[in-house]
């Protein structure tokens, strides 16, 4: 498929779906400038929901939500090693033109000229309704808000049409940063309420397939599993008007096809090719390749510690010693990751996350531990992964399967479609699996709140319960809010040591976000959510 055929097929389906979006003139060979205002993205998988508040919204869904909705505040940008990063510690207004932080509340003045994409003014009523929704729908959105001590609708107060106040229920340094993540987006409450029902009071069915924001882009067409088309919102007030007018995001499951589209110049960007391809493309020098470590992120092997056999500590330790860590680094990742294993035996625990465990591959020790656990003849289980990110997950699981077989553990690999992964993972019934978690707020206590706290957080996918761990996490959060560095340091070290001792999940590596772009594409920015932000891109 050449560039013209590729783009034609992207636009023609928009008309076929009845959206009324005509085949855009951007595809005319006479309009070079218009082509420079269109971005063509290819990826392995796409969103299963356009609403971050939706049930089981997958990681690609974050990208759709981020680019179509605004929040009250966002991050400033900084530059490191030639890449623009979000600045964890510097915030600025997006829909808010002013932020006044008090002792137990924060007050926001809204931009008076901001409108939703249907022309309706953005008001404090919309902000309150949106935040009420986020803390009330349950699941991931509500847990995300809770991570910043944003828990009750009563915390969100309309002062006047353009002023909203957020009251604190406790001192928590995560509260303000938590208002800048994807979840507390501001939604056109009037539009969504018109499309809500008694059974669906928050209008989740409507927003699953329709965007209702004030963001820089709006979705004009979405065919699940095939493509999403975004058009620039010309009256966006959240920042400088983006240079890119149209974004076509196509799902191309075959990594070979994605690479071919890039190499021929038929696509502009891809960010989930196999690492081998990124290494080869970088060596070839025809594309710009950017590799950035996930902030606060780890790929891990998880085990359901609630049920046999992984309720047995020695079984979990056996798995930890059976993992072919270096083979995974070399054969699945081609070195594009930071190892989270093999720390020296005398290494001291640090006040940071992530940091490496002291586990190494030792099959004899693994087999001995398995026998001591009561499984001298081995056992059988399933090993699950997200098929939406098969490029890394599949070779990783095959390598692990081979090593586990050597200590008597027979595994059946369970490939779960990307659209279903989040739902299956959060049921907490998978016995053995690999997953990646990256904390949006770059603090150790935030990561551990999500992944190890016994409050039944949806990302405590191991069903891990430990009163001691909960005390360390809660203590670190309180110490951070009160500026007690000594107590904070002690609690962070305590949580890390306990996580490595109880080993409900085994860190493998800190992944890299790898992005391949044509040479004429500039403006890539690394964000905590690891997805593409279309607003800063430019095409030469």
Query: Residues 39-51: pLDDT tens digits?
Result: 999 998 999 999 9
Q: Is the peptide bond before 309 cis (omega within 30 degrees of 0)?
A: yes
Which of 19-28, 253-262, 396-405, 488-497 shows the lowest mean pLDDT across its residues? 19-28
Tell me the H-state helices in 285-380: 313-322, 325-327, 363-372
pLDDT of residue 116: 98
pLDDT of residue 530: 94
The alpha-carbon radius of gyration of the chain (Å, integer) is 24
pLDDT digits 0-9 by tens, 203-250: 999 999 999 999 999 999 999 999 999 999 999 999 999 999 999 999
Tokens 């997950």: give the residue: 393
Please give the CATH topology (third level) of the domain spanning 3-68+215-268+518-539: D-Maltodextrin-Binding Protein; domain 2 (3.40.190)
Q: Is the peptide bond before 82 cis (omega within 30 degrees of 0)?
A: no
CA gap 70, 272 in Å, rounded: 26
pLDDT of residue 81: 84
pLDDT digits 0-9 by tens, 288-312: 999 999 999 999 999 999 999 999 9
* DSSP-derived secondary structure letter, 87: E
pLDDT of residue 33: 65
pLDDT of residue 289: 95
pLDDT of residue 389: 87
pLDDT beyond 70 at 385: yes
12 pLDDT band, cuts 50/70/90, is very low
Closest alpha carbon to 237 in 449, 445, 94, 68: 94
Sheet holding 73-80, edge to edge: 73-80, 83-93, 525-526
3-class DSSP state for residue 41? strand
CA gap 428, 423 in Å, rounded: 9
- Domain 297-512 carries which CATH code? 3.10.105.10
3-class DSSP state for residue 25? helix
pLDDT beyond 50 at 26: no
Average pLDDT, the chain: 93
Beta strands in 427-504 (DSSP E): 432-438
CATH label, 87-190, candidates 3.10.450.50, 3.30.413.10, 3.90.76.10, 3.30.390.30: 3.90.76.10
3-class DSSP state for residue 498? helix
> Which whole number is the average pLDDT over 462-475?
97
pLDDT of residue 80: 87
pLDDT of residue 458: 82
The token pair that represents 504 in the structure block: 């409900």
pLDDT of residue 187: 98
456 pLDDT band, cuts 50/70/90, is low
H helix and E strand count, the chain = 18, 23
pLDDT of residue 177: 96
pLDDT of residue 4: 52
pLDDT of residue 16: 36
pLDDT of residue 13: 38
pLDDT above 70: percentage of residues in the chain: 94
pLDDT of residue 32: 59
489 pLDDT band, cuts 50/70/90, is very high
> Which whole number is the average pLDDT over 52-66?
95
CA gap 451, 447 in Å, rounded: 6
Phi then psi dihedrals of residue 517, to 5 deg = -135, 150
Domain ranges of the chain: 3-68+215-268+518-539, 87-190, 297-512
pLDDT beyond 60 at 9: no
């Amino acid at each position: 498929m050449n560039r013209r055929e590729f783009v034609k097929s992207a636009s023609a389906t928009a008309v076929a779906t009845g959206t009324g979006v005509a085949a855009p003139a951007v595809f005319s060979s006479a309009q070079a400038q218009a082509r420079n205002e269109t971005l063509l993205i290819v990826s392995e998988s796409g969103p299963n929901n356009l609403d971050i508040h939706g049930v089981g919204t997958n990681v690609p869904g974050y990208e759709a939500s981020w680019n179509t909705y605004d929040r009250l505040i966002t991050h400033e940008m900084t530059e490191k090693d030639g890449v623009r990063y979000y600045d964890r510690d510097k915030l600025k207004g997006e829909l808010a033109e002013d932020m006044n932080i008090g002792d137990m509340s924060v007050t926001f003045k809204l931009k008076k000229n901001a409108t939703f994409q249907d022309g309706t003014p953005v008001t404090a009523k919309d902000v309150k309704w949106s935040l009420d929704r986020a803390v009330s729908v349950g699941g991931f959105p509500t847990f995300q808000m809770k991570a910043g001590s944003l828990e009750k609708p009563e915390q969100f107060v309309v002062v006047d049409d353009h002023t909203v106040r957020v009251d604190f229920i406790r001192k928590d340094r995560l509260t303000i940063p938590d208002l800048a993540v994807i979840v507390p987006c501001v939604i056109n409450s009037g539009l969504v309420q018109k499309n809500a029902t008694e059974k669906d009071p928050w209008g989740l069915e409507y927003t699953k397939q329709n965007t209702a924001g004030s963001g820089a882009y709006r979705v004009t067409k979405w065919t699940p599993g095939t493509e999403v088309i975004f058009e620039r919102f010309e009256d966006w007030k959240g920042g400088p008007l983006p240079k890119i007018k149209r974004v076509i995001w196509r799902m191309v499951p075959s990594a070979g096809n994605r690479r071919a589209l890039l190499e021929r110049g038929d696509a502009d960007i891809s960010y989930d090719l196999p690492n081998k391809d990124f290494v080869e493309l970088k060596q070839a020098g025809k594309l710009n390749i950017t590799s950035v470590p996930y902030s606060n992120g780890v790929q891990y092997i998880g085990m359901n510690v609630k049920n046999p056999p992984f309720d047995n500590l020695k079984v979990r330790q056996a798995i930890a010693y059976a993992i072919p860590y270096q083979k995974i680094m070399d054969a699945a990742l081609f070195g594009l990751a930071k190892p989270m294993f093999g720390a020296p035996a005398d290494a001291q625990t640090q006040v940071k996350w992530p940091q490496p465990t002291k586990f190494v591959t030792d099959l004899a020790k693994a087999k001995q531990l398995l026998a001591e656990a009561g499984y001298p003849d081995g056992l059988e289980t399933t090993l699950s992964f997200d098929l939406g990110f098969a490029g890394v997950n599949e070779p990783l699981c095959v390598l692990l399967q081979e090593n586990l077989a050597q200590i008597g553990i027979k595994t059946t690999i369970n490939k779960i479609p990307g659209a279903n992964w989040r739902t299956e993972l959060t049921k907490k019934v998978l016995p053995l699996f690999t997953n990646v978690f990256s904390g949006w707020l770059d603090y150790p206590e935030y990561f551990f709140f999500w992944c190890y706290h016994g409050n039944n957080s949806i990302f405590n996918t191991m069903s891990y319960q430990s009163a001691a761990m909960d005390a360390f996490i809660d203590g670190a959060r309180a110490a951070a809010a009160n500026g007690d560095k000594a107590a904070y340091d002690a609690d962070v070290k305590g949580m890390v040591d306990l996580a490595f001792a109880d080993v409900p999940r085994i860190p493998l590596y800190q992944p890299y976000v790898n992005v391949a772009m044509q040479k004429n594409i500039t403006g890539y920015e690394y964000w905590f959510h690891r997805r593409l932000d279309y607003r800063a891109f430019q095409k030469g």
